[in-house]
Amino acid sequence: MDALLFMIFAAIAAVCGINLVIQKHAISSALSLVGVMAALAALYLLLGGEFIAAAQLVVYAGAIMVLFVFVIMLLNAGVERTTRRRPWAQYAGVPLLLVLFGTVALLVQEISPAGDNVIFGEFTKGTPLDVGRALFTTYLLPFEVTSVLILIAILGAIVLARKEID
Amino acid sequence: MITSTHYLVLGGLLALIGTLGVLTRRNVVVILMSIELILNAANLNLVAFARELNQIQGQVFAVFVIAIAVAEASVGLGILIALFRNKETVDAGEIDLLKW
């Protein structure tokens, strides 16, 4: 059952990711990215990251994607300009990419420890209680620094995007 | 059966797809979305390692990555709006103010 769920959501994530890259319109890419985010949230849940899964849905699929879609609508860019590829790149590109991915997968398999199976509900340290306790005790300083960084990012976004007033 | 290695390989695949998007697409919005995809691949690896090592640290770090991704997206899109106001384009090939 866990293997089946992993297969389904991994396939959704991979297909949506590829769709993101090959779509011509930015809005189709944004919808594909929403698919990737949702599938990844399910995978986090399988890995026992309850808080991360919820944060993924709320922050990524909610907030960031709304921001992206809003900007796409605002800019109204239309279809992208494409250039003709060189003939060797057209035929060798995809096979070489697959070779690269195969090499990466082999290396990961060699390096990573031969762990036990991922079983849903087995890892129980990912609840909001545990994550919050770690965030507000051990990692309090990084947490505060992150909040300052987000404040700076808000100010930066406002300054960059506002109209110049003479 | 499915082990953490499978999750790591999926993370590698997503990072590869994201890199491909950054390198091949011209629309700056899509480039930013591909960067988000790469950050998500890193997050998947962090959560997989957290489960593999039976520790919470990986997930805490993933929370930080999500927060930084929000900041990056907001500032990036702000820059994009300012750029579009000045140059009337979102094509990465036409944005060459710093070239020569």
Residues 1-30 of chain A whose Cβ lies under 8 A from any Cβ of chain B: 2-3, 6, 10, 13-14, 17-18, 20-21, 26, 29-30
Torsion angle (degrees, nearest 10) of CA B86, B87, B89, B91: -120
Q: With cut-offs at 50, 70 and 90, classify the pLDDT of residue B92.
A: confident
Q: How far apart are CA A141 and CA A129, in angstroms?
A: 19
B59, burial (CB in 10 Å: exposed 0-12, middle 13-18, buried 19+): buried
Examine residue B95 and state whether it is found in any structural domain, yes or no: no
Domain ranges of chain A: 2-78+121-165
The 8 Å CB, 24+ separation contacts for A151-156 are A152/B71, A153/B70, A153/B71, A153/B72, A153/B74, A153/B75, A154/B74, A156/B74, A156/B75, A156/B78
pLDDT, residue B34, reads: 93
Task: Answer yes or no: do A154 and B74 touch at CB < 8 A.
Answer: yes
Closest by CA position to B6, among listed A1, A97, A94, A47: A47
Q: With cut-offs at 50, 70 and 90, classify the pLDDT of residue A10.
A: very high
Confidence (pTM): 0.89
Residues 58-87 of chain B whose Cβ lies under 8 A from any Cβ of chain A: 59-60, 62-64, 66-75, 77-82, 84-85
Min Cα separation A166/chain B (Å):
16
pLDDT for residue A27 is more than 70:
yes
Residue-wise pLDDT tens digits, A54-107: 999 999 888 899 989 988 888 876 666 777 777 787 788 888 889 998 998 888
Q: Which residue of B has its CA nearest to A161?
A: B78
| Mutation to test the A interface, candidates B31, B32, B34, B40, most A Cβ within 10 Å | B40
Q: How far apart are CA B56 and CA B65, in angstroms?
A: 15
Comparing A117 with A46, the larger pLDDT belongs to A46
Cβ–Cβ contact A155 with B under 8 A: no
B35 and B1 Cβ atoms separated by less than 8 Å: no
Domain hosting residue B83, numbered range: 27-89
pLDDT, residue A165, reads: 65
ipTM of the complex: 0.89
Contacts of A54 (CB under 8 A, 6+ apart): A41, A128
Examine residue B34 and state whether it is found in any structural domain, yes or no: yes
Fold of A2-78+121-165: Four Helix Bundle (Hemerythrin (Met), subunit A) (1.20.120)
Task: Answer yes or no: do A125 and B63 touch at CB < 8 A.
Answer: no
pLDDT, residue B5, reads: 85
Comparing A19 with A123, the larger pLDDT belongs to A19
Q: With cut-offs at 50, 70 and 90, classify the pLDDT of residue B93.
A: confident
Nearest to A68 among B3, B33, B78 (CB): B33
pLDDT for residue A119 is more than 90:
no
A76, burial (CB in 10 Å: exposed 0-12, middle 13-18, buried 19+): exposed
Examine residue B78 and state whether it is found in any structural domain, yes or no: yes
Task: Answer yes or no: do B16 and A80 touch at CB < 8 A.
Answer: no
CA distances for B64 relative to A66, A77, A86, A139, B16, angstroms: 20, 32, 41, 10, 22
Phi, psi of B55 (to 5 degrees): -135, 155
Identity of the amino acid at B12: G
Structural domains in chain B (count): 1
